[in-house]
């Protein structure tokens, strides 16, 4: 589904990604772990085309490095960035509709607005109020749901539980499970190790702009050395 080979990325003269290799198969949930500032978000941005990628990014067999973010989205790659960029002046419902692809009708894909409202009564209750009044957790839900409305085959979600209450964190974890159930391949950037280990089929650990460990959650559990060197603070 996604194959990243020798991916590099730069901000000005800073060489951030230094040869990232990863692959994600259909229906697989993969967690991308690592300490703050190691380049996890930059990896997502380079895959999406938000920062210029140097190297190869293949999605469904097609080279996407060099394509524009909207082109990448239109071929089925969904992205939920770290900052919850809702459209604050629009209602919850309008925000969800904006997630549809050009020409796509609500209900024609794997997810419908009705689905979202069934899953999250919070969003239903606030369907017709301005999104700016939603809580941080509700806004996180909304950005995830909006991306899902576009019916991606693969979704990258960057730190969805950051700053959320335990209750909202659980809701987000439930949605991640629901995404997994529908066999949508996922790259999950997550600081909370427990959630990542719970739902991921495989994990990548990043350090210094490269992948330094790859394995199953079980493998990582057995590697105190890797956790000490690259994850614990």
Ligand X SMILES: Nc1ncnc2c1ncn2[C@@H]1O[C@H](COP(=O)(O)OP(=O)(O)OP(=O)(O)O)[C@@H](O)[C@H]1O
161 binding ligand X? (CB under 6 A): no
Cβ atoms of 140 and 160 within 8 Å: the answer is yes
Measured CA to CA, the distance from residue 176 to residue 197 in angstroms comes to 12
Cβ atoms of 216 and 226 within 8 Å: the answer is no
Which member of 7, 38, 47, 57 binds ligand X (CB under 6 A)? Answer: 38
Closest CB 106 distance from Mg ion, rounded Å:
31
41 binding Mg ion? (CB under 5 A): yes
Which member of 2, 4, 16, 185 binds ligand X (CB under 6 A)? Answer: 16
Which member of 42, 143, 169, 186 binds ligand X (CB under 6 A)? Answer: 42
Closest CB 68 distance from ligand X, rounded Å:
18
Cβ atoms of 36 and 189 within 8 Å: the answer is no
Closest CB 176 distance from ligand X, rounded Å:
18
48 binding ligand X? (CB under 6 A): no
Closest CB 36 distance from ligand X, rounded Å:
3
| Residue 167: contacted member of ligand X, Mg ion, none (CB under 5 to 8 Å, by partner type) | none
Closest CB 20 distance from ligand X, rounded Å:
11
> Which stretch in 25-33, 37-45, 125-133, 168-176 sits in contact with Mg ion by CB under 5 A?
37-45
Which C-beta is closer to ligand X: that of 27 or that of 207? Answer: 207
Measured CA to CA, the distance from residue 231 to residue 209 in angstroms comes to 14
Binding site for ligand X (CB under 6 A): 11, 14, 16, 34, 36-42
Binding site for Mg ion (CB under 5 A): 41
């Amino acid at each position: 589904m996604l194959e990243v080979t020798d991916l590099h990325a730069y901000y000005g003269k800073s060489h951030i990604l230094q040869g990232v290799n990863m692959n994600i198969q259909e229906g697989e949930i993969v967690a991308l772990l690592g300490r703050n500032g190691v380049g996890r978000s930059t990896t997502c941005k380079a895959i999406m085309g938000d920062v210029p990628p140097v190297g190869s990014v293949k999605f469904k067999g097609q080279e996407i490095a060099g394509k524009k973010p909207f082109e990448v989205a239109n071929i089925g790659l969904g992205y939920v960035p770290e900052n919850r960029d809702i459209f604050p002046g629009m209602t919850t419902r309008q925000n969800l509709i904006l997630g549809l692809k050009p020409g796509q009708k609500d209900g024609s894909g794997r997810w419908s607005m009705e689905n979202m409202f069934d899953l999250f009564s919070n969003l239903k209750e606030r369907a017709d109020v301005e999104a700016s009044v939603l809580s941080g957790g509700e806004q996180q839900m909304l950005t995830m749901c909006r991306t899902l409305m576009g019916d991606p085959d693969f979704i990258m979600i960057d730190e969805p539980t950051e700053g959320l209450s335990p209750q909202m964190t659980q809701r987000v974890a439930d949605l991640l499970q629901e995404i997994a159930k529908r066999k949508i391949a996922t790259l999950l950037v997550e600081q909370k190790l427990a959630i990542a280990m719970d739902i991921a089929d495989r994990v990548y650990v990043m350090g210094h702009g490269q992948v330094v460990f790859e394995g199953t959650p079980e493998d990582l559990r057995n590697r105190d050395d890797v956790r000490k060197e690259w994850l614990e603070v």
